Amino acid sequence: MIPVEISKNVYDVGVMDWNIRDFHGYSTHAGTTYNAFLVLDEKIALIDTVKAPFCDQLLDNISKIIDPKKIDMVISNHTEMDHSGSLPRVMHRIGEDKPLYCSKMGAKNLALHYPQKWNFHPVKSGQEVSLGAKTFTFLETRMVHWPDSMFTYLKEDKILFSSDGFGQHYAGFEKFDDLVSEDVMYQAKKYFANILMLYAPRILKLIEQVQSLGLEIEMICPDHGIIWRKNPGKIIDAYVKWSQPTTEKKAIVIYDTMWNSTKMMAEAIADGISSQGVAVVPIHIRSSHRSDIMTEVLDAKAIVVGSPTLNNQMFPTVADFLTYMKGLKPTDKIGGMFGSYGWSGESVKMVQAELEAMKFDVIDPGIKIQYIPNKDGLSASYDYGQKIGQAVTG
* Distances 238 to 22, 204, 334 between C-alpha atoms, Å: 25, 11, 23
In whole angstroms, give the CA distance from residue 29 to residue 31.
Answer: 6
d(CA 362, CA 355): 7
Cis peptide before 365 (omega within 30 of 0): yes
DSSP state of 123: E
Report yes or no: 75 and 39 within 8 Å, Cβ to Cβ. Answer: no
* Residue closest to 217 by CA, chosen among 163, 164, 152, 130: 152
Residue 287: CB atoms within 10 Å: 7
Backbone angles phi, psi at 290, to 5 degrees: -60, -30
Three-state DSSP state, 210: helix
Catalytic residues: 24, 78, 80, 82, 145, 164, 191, 224
Residue 8 CB neighbour total at 10 angstroms: 10
Outline where the chain has alpha helix (H): 55-63, 81-84, 87-94, 104-113, 183-191, 200-213, 232-243, 261-274, 290-297, 316-328, 347-357, 375-393
